[in-house]
Amino acid sequence: MKKFRRTLVASLLATGLLAAPVAALAQDIKPRLIRFGYGLVEASNQGRAVKFFAEQVEKASGGKMKVRAIGAAALGPDTQMQQALIGGAQEMMVGSTATLVGITKEMALWDTPFLFSNTREADAVLDGPIGQKVMDRLQPAGLVGLVYWENGFRNLTNSKRPVQKMEDFDGIKLRVMQNNVYLESFRTLGANAVPMPFSELFGALETKTVDGQENPFNTILSSKFFEVQKFLSVTNHVYSPWIVTVSKKWWDTLSKDEQKVLMDAAVASRDFERKDTREEAGRALAELRAKGMQINELPPAESARMRARLAQVNAGIAANVGQDLWNETQAALAALRK
Ligand code: KDG
């Protein structure tokens, strides 16, 4: 059928009965399909931002590029999607920078406990030269980083007790992301840290395979952790970025115009996602309390003890990501705090 259609178009062109531009329209213009995987549910800050990105791409490309948003880890956990992008079996994803450290060790910089004190610092460093430098380190591994989105400041939930002081971590079986800094950090605080993909977390909390986890308020809400977690302790122990990545194998087949469509949509989606996430986070604590969670804030003195204890992991991070990158980051933060 396609061959017949092409022959017909060619003969109509030859007779001048069909002008070239119209013929171009008559040709099969199959939209370029982009599979964009993510791990949270559709009704989450992550899902809303992927939907926004998809709308931006379709609009800017005049329908020539279509993004299929595939959520709830239907394409597998972050690490599996990362490999699918590297192999060219999937085009795009968004996930945690923390799960990328096995591919690009410099991503561990963003795991540093208490690195950012607020979102102003996070945006400035992530969207500036340091964030770009770390993102560029993905390319030799077969990934192209487009932008950072906001997962947010991470807080602790568990089913055993309120964590009011560092000693309360003792004996808590705590799920952490598959990342050595998180593992070492929570072991240093006295918890029994268990690395686990996000996609397995709700079930593990429900069956008490683990007692607790740590994530931003948004995720605690959208993943309904309040159904299986009684206690929420506000620690804000680390700012967690997400990163939108593209398969380099696929990216390199795109025209410059197509790459620009994706980059422009990614920047617009970053600004949308951060605004949406911050608005939701502002409401989330009240909503979680209304859902029955018992919420406590760590007293400043206890937060300071936690920060001092976690400083032990910083030397290892600096050695891992490179002392120059570490020093550059600390200098950038000092300048922002002047
Ligand atoms: O796909 C899930 C990831 O987006 C991950 O970042 C969620 O923060 C997360 C976690 O705790 O695994």
Amino acid at 129: P
Q: Give the mutation target among 97, 201, 215, 229 for probing the ligand 1 site: most ligand atoms within 8 A of CB.
A: 215
**182 within 8 A of 111, measured Cβ to Cβ:** yes
Per residue in 141-192, pLDDT tens?
Answer: 999 999 999 999 999 999 999 999 999 999 999 999 999 999 999 999 999 9
How many residues comprise the chain? Answer: 338
Question: Within 6 Å (CB) of ligand 1, which residues are found?
Answer: 39-40, 78, 95-96, 151, 177, 198, 215, 240, 242
Cα–ligand 1 centroid distance for 40 (angstroms): 7
CA distance 136 to 272: 23
CA distance 233 to 155: 6
- Going by alpha carbons, the residue nearest to atom 4 of ligand 1 is 95
Per residue in 26-46, pLDDT tens?
Answer: 456 789 999 999 999 999 999
Q: Which atom of ligand 1 is found nearest the CA of 46? A: 4
CA distance 247 to 83: 9
| DSSP per residue, 62-127 | TTSEEEEEE-TTTT--HHHHHHHHHHTS--EEEEEGGGGTTT-GGGGGGGSTT--SSHHHHHHHHT
Q: Among residues 195, 169, 171, which one has the least CA distance to residue 181?
A: 195
Q: Give the mutation target among 42, 45, 46, 99 for probing the ligand 1 site: most ligand atoms within 8 A of CB.
A: 99
Domain ranges of the chain: 1-26, 155-239+285-337
Q: Which atom of ligand 1 is found nearest the CA of 198? A: 12
CA distance 26 to 6: 9
Task: Encode the chain (338 residues) as per-residue pLDDT tens digits.
Answer: 555 555 555 565 555 554 544 554 545 678 999 999 999 999 999 999 999 999 999 999 999 999 999 999 999 999 999 999 999 999 999 999 999 999 999 999 999 999 999 999 999 999 999 999 999 999 999 999 999 999 999 999 999 999 999 999 999 999 999 999 999 999 999 999 999 999 999 999 999 999 999 999 999 999 999 999 999 999 999 999 999 999 999 999 999 999 999 999 999 999 999 999 999 999 999 999 999 999 999 999 999 999 999 999 999 999 999 999 999 999 999 999 99
Cα–ligand 1 centroid distance for 54 (angstroms): 21
Domain covering 155-239+285-337 in this structure, CATH number: 3.40.190.170
Cα–ligand 1 centroid distance for 97 (angstroms): 9
Cα–ligand 1 centroid distance for 291 (angstroms): 22
Cα–ligand 1 centroid distance for 312 (angstroms): 24
CA distance 78 to 196: 11
- Going by alpha carbons, the residue nearest to atom 2 of ligand 1 is 39
CA distance 40 to 33: 21
